[in-house]
Each structure stands twice: as structure tokens, then as C-alpha cells.
Structure 1
Amino acid sequence: MVKSLRTIQAPIVEELQEFEQRFRDSMRSPVPLLDRITFYIVRRKGKQVRPMFIFLTAKLCKNITDATYTAASLVELLHTASLVHDDVVDDANERRGFFSINALWKNKAAVLVGDFLLTRGLALALKKKQYQLLQIVSNAFEAITEGELLQLEKARRLDIDEEVYYEVIRKKTASLIASACAAGAASTTTDEEIVEKMRLFGETIGMAFQIRDDLFDFGASDVGKPLGIDIKEKKMTLPLIYALQQTDKQNRKRIIRKIKRYSEEPATIREVIEFVRQSGGLEYAHKVMLQFRDDAFEILHSFPTSPARESLEDLVNFVVEREK
């Protein structure tokens, strides 16, 4: 049984409350429009999984410090900036059931707000003289940009195989969770081996997280994004890649042609979803996801038993078993 986030947060509940206040303060601005938009962003924040990884990792390695709060704010500010910019690029009107910033205040304001959050995060790290944290998180966002562009390049021909897929999600998704865990460790220890170990732990979880997200596209329609949205956007995810590998050359060409030309048509989306389901794509992706989970547990279990380690185990299970 998957434990609730409230239960998982138990060892760091006070720290998360303190972080929430600090994060709100870090977004304040004397410009009324900007302050209004950032207040809207704070109100619709998600599950706060990344701050949880940061604080639990710090507690696992040693003790939570002031630098841990800086790490959490830095990661969340830059992550939020990337989401605001993503909604502009994708022309998305909603995120997590709320109107996006660009839907309410138009693209120009959204881009500028994203820029503000990005620079505010960098300024916070510099003010606190947390140069290592800044390096860790900057590396992650460089990787995210590379991953997005790699996916965009490959989407034109739909020629992504498994290895390219793993490279894309390692950069696009896993790098951010990896940076959160590395920053959490770096905020409390100077041991580079431990910091790297936690970076690998976060990267492994990030891989599992993205595969779980990909599986949602072929399941129920109430999981935070419309059913078949990846197909509509011509994104080659692991279930589809595997399904295409299992079929004959003629059928593979036919499916790819349909996705290229008719991906927005409901009939095409239904056909591709059924094709993936019948080809064992969902089962294969689920198996790979669980392998990444097990690899993460292997890293985690190299640390002594503690409440923080137990909560990290539960958080890993939450990531791979969540329903939305």
C-alpha cells in the first residue's frame, strides 16, 4: 500500500512549513502585476515532491542546514520558471487543473515572469554564496534544455529508439530530480562521493517518474493530462517505442505514418493506444520502471536505517505507484 504524502513528510514536516514561507518570500516583488502573478503561482503549487527529496536527502546524509532551504528554493524557482516557459512554448491553457499564466496574462507576461523567477533563483544562490548548489542546479537546467531540443529534433522523423528515449528523459526529467537530491546532500556534507551517490539516486528515480508519466497517456483520462496527449504531440514514449519494435516493418511504417499525418484525430489516438496495449508496450514499460525503482533502492540501502531513509523509500514507491 502506498503511503500518503502527509505520512511520508513526517520527518521533515516542520522544515517543509518553514520552506513554504521562505519560498513565498523569495517570490515577492514591489511590482503589483508581478506580485499578483507569483501569488497565483504559489496558490497552485503541486505536491512539492522535489523539496521533499531535498530535505529528506539532507537529513539522510547529515542534518538540515540553512543551505538546504536555499537549495529547495533555488530548485523550485528554476523549476517553476521552466513550467511557465513550457506552457508558452506548448501553447497550453491549463496546468494541474488551473489556468496557465499565459492563458490569464498572455504570453508576454508569462515569458517575463519566467525570466523573473529564473533570475530570482540565481540571485538567491549568489546572495547566500552557495556556488556549488548553483553549479548543480545550473547543470540540470542545461541538460533539460538539451533534452527538449533533442526530443524536438527526433520528433520530426519519429526515429527515437530506446537508447535515445532514455537519453531524452535522463536530460528532460531525471536531471532535475537528480539535482534536487545532489543539492540536498551538498547542503549538508562536503563528501563528493555522497553527493554523487545521491545525484545518481535522484536520476534513477527521475527515470522511473517519467516512465510512470508516460504510462498515464495510455490509461485512465483523469490523471492530470488528456488521454493520448503524447500521441497528439508526436512524442515517442517507451510503451510506443516497444510496441513498434514488436510489429512487422509494414505495420510499423503504417503506424508512424498515421502519427505523423493524423496525430490530432481521435480515431488515430484510439488506434495507437489500442496498438500499444495489444503489443505489450504497457507491461514492458512498467517492468523497466520497476527496475529503475530497484536500482534506486540499492543506492538508498547503502545508507544506515533512519526515519529519513524510510520516508525516502516510501517517496520512491509513491513516485512509481501514484495514480496521477
Structure 2
Amino acid sequence: MLKLKDIQTPIAQELKLFEGRFKESMRSSVPLLNRITQYIIKQKGKQMRPMFVFLSAGLCGGINDSTYRGASLVELLHTASLVHDDVVDNANERRGFFSVNALWKNKVAVLIGDFLLAKGLLLSVRNDEHTLLKIVSEAVEQMSEGELLQIEKARKLDIQEDIYFEIIQKKTASLIASCCACGAASAGVADDQVQLLRSFGEKVGIAFQIKDDLFDFGLDDVGKPVGNDIKEKKLTLPLIYALRNTSASEKKRIINLVRNHSENKEKVAEVIAFVRSSGGMDYATEKMLQYQSEAFAILETFPPSEYRSALEQLVRFTTERTK
């Protein structure tokens, strides 16, 4: 099984240096702000976004100060969006920790998100990183549009496959695409190469999200159905496919279970069983591997290197991970 720490080898030193620079980029003269941002840093995830930035820069010719600023910009704006998302969703946890809004209430959480957003903007403007700012700002715009599109469509519980892909392209893939584009742009390559890496990141992001959606139709650590998306009344690819390939009466019955019985564990398990027996898992897996293959094809246009190899492993990690 691939492990992220093994994939990080070509950029291990850069990631360690990045951690210090990222902490510095969040510094404030207000003690409360520093206390909260230090709490946020403790919750850091797998560092996949900075990895995509640094590996893409290495692939395109070199990691430099601009690359560090690009990685910090992505993390600042993404962290701001997560803090705001927790307020919108009334979420009390983030990666096993209490969310900012759970500990310091919504007003403080919104202001923290605004502060991180401003820090990202200032980091870019003060260092004339207008190209990087444009790349990441476009991603944040798409992420917001994706969230609102999902909210709009979820009310009717009738999301078609093309709408599903539009939602995950905007919500998830746009951010990974911006990481790869930032890395390429920081290395100073031509715009066509930047766009090629953006396309690579988008395909990886779509595959990543499909993998997440597949997890929801699996079993948890004690062998019980997961079904979190069903509980939140989200229609994802495995369920969309299963509903498209069943009778009208069965489709109506399953949608009724999602709409009116999503808090009932037995009913959620019934929906999961329907998806698994209808080929929804196999279809989604096939689509995921298709996007993975397209991402590999883009990487193969670059000369072999330790960075290309690490990116190939990172793509595999996104589709082979177990959580």
C-alpha cells in the first residue's frame, strides 16, 4: 500500500521548510488570532495540496521562492473556505478536532476565515504574484459555485450524471487543478504547460472525489454501512447510476428512502445494498480509473524524473487509499 511519506521523498526538505513559512504567513499581532491559527495548524491533513504544488514545480523545471508562496496561497485560501464551510454546515468537528466555530462560535469563525483570505491576498500582492493569485482565486470562485449548484440540485434529488461531474469538477477538482497550475506557473513555464498541469490536476481531483463517494457505500470499521452522503441527501455517482438503471417504481422507492428516511440506519443500509447490487460501485470505479488513466497520459508527455514518478504515485494514492 502506498504511503504519502514515501511519495514525499523528493520534496521532503521543501515540505518541512514550507511548514515554517506557512505558519509565518498566518502570524498576527492579535493574540486571539494567533491562538486560533495555531489550533488550525495542528489539524493539518495529509499535505496533499502543497505536494501537488511542489511536485508540479519540480516537474516543470524547478522549485523556488514563488513555489513556496503558491503553496501558502493555496493553503490559506483553502483553509479559509473550510472554516467558512463549517459555519455554513453547522459542523462541530474537522479531522477529529473541534471546529473553529464549535470552540469560538460562528462570529469569530467567519472573521478568522476573512483574515486568512486577506493574508492570502496580501501575500500575493506584496510579492507581485498576480498569476498565482488569479489561478487560486478562480478555483475559489468555482468551489463556491459548485457548493451552490449542489445545494440547488439537491433539493429535487434528481441530479443527472453530467451535473454530478460539473459539481465535483468545481467543488473538488478545481482546487487540485489550481495546485498543479500554481506549481507550473511558479517554475516559469509557458502558459500551455501551465494549462496542461491544470488539466492533469483536474482529472486527479475528479478521480479523488469519486473515490470518496465510493467510500460512502462501503462499510465502516465495525462492518456497518457508512452512508453519510445518503444521510445528507447527496446523490453521488454510484447512486445516480443505480437509479438510472432501475425501474420507475424502484427509483421512486429509493428516492423516497433518501428524502424521508435518511436518519434511519436500516433504510440507509437498504439504499446502500441497492447501489451495490445494481452495479453502481463498479460503474463509479470504472469512471475513476478512466480519469486516473487520463492523468497518467498527461504525465507521460513530460520527461522521466523523480518528480514525475512521485506524481504518478500520488495519483495512484488518490485511487488506492483506504480512507
What range describes the TM-score normalised by the shorter chain of this pair? over 0.9
The aligned residue for residue 194 of structure 2 is: 195
The aligned residue for residue 256 of structure 2 is: 257
The aligned residue for residue 242 of structure 1 is: 241
Q: Tell me how far 1:220 sits from its aligned partner.
A: 2.8
| Kept in 1: contact 2:60–2:189 (CA 8 A) | no
Q: Tell me how far 1:265 sits from its aligned partner.
A: 2.0
Q: Tell me how far 1:98 sits from its aligned partner.
A: 1.2
The aligned residue for residue 116 of structure 1 is: 115
Question: How far, CA to CA, are the matches of 1:37 and 1:264 in structure 2?
Answer: 33
The aligned residue for residue 229 of structure 1 is: 228
Question: How far, CA to CA, are the matches of 1:54 and 1:263 in structure 2?
Answer: 39
1:85 aligned onto 2:68: no
| Kept in 1: contact 2:26–2:116 (CA 8 A) | yes
The residue type paired with residue 309 of structure 2 is: E
1:279 aligned onto 2:282: no
The residue type paired with residue 253 of structure 1 is: K
Question: How far, CA to CA, are the matches of 1:145 and 1:320 in structure 2?
Answer: 25
Worse-superposed segment, 257-266 or 13-22: 257-266
Question: How far, CA to CA, are the matches of 1:302 and 1:210 in structure 2?
Answer: 25
Question: How far, CA to CA, are the matches of 2:53 and 2:205 in structure 1?
Answer: 14
Q: Tell me how far 1:8 sits from its aligned partner.
A: 0.7
Within-5 A mapping of 1:40-119: 40-119=39-118
Question: How far, CA to CA, are the matches of 1:227 and 1:99 in structure 2?
Answer: 21
The residue type paired with residue 277 of structure 1 is: R
1:302 aligned onto 2:301: yes
The residue type paired with residue 14 of structure 1 is: Q
Question: How far, CA to CA, are the matches of 1:227 and 1:77 in structure 2?
Answer: 31
The residue type paired with residue 69 of structure 1 is: Y
The residue type paired with residue 208 of structure 1 is: A
TM-score by length of 1: 0.97
Question: How far, CA to CA, are the matches of 1:207 and 1:67 in structure 2?
Answer: 27
1:5 aligned onto 2:1: no
Q: Tell me how far 1:222 sits from its aligned partner.
A: 4.8
Q: Tell me how far 1:4 sits from its aligned partner.
A: 1.5
Q: Tell me how far 1:256 sits from its aligned partner.
A: 0.9
For this pair of structures, how many residues does the alignment match?
Answer: 321
Question: How far, CA to CA, are the matches of 1:3 and 1:201 in structure 2?
Answer: 20
Q: Where do 5+ consecutive residues of structure 1 fail to align? A: none
1:240-266 residue CA offsets vs partner (Å, 9 max, x unmatched): 001101110111011112211222222
Question: How far, CA to CA, are the matches of 1:182 and 1:207 in structure 2?
Answer: 16
Question: How far, CA to CA, are the matches of 2:221 and 2:195 in structure 1?
Answer: 37
| Kept in 1: contact 2:176–2:202 (CA 8 A) | yes
The aligned residue for residue 206 of structure 1 is: 205
| Kept in 1: contact 2:57–2:187 (CA 8 A) | yes
Q: Tell me how far 1:185 sits from its aligned partner.
A: 0.2
User: Superposition RMSD on alpha carbons, in Å?
Assistant: 1.2
The residue type paired with residue 103 of structure 1 is: A
The aligned residue for residue 165 of structure 2 is: 166
Question: How far, CA to CA, are the matches of 2:221 and 2:124 in structure 1?
Answer: 38
1:68-105 residue CA offsets vs partner (Å, 9 max, x unmatched): 00100000001111111111111111111111111111
Within-5 A mapping of 1:137-152: 137-152=136-151
TM-score by length of 2: 0.97
Q: Where do 5+ consecutive residues of structure 2 fail to align? A: none
1:267 aligned onto 2:266: yes
The aligned residue for residue 30 of structure 2 is: 31
The residue type paired with residue 142 of structure 1 is: E
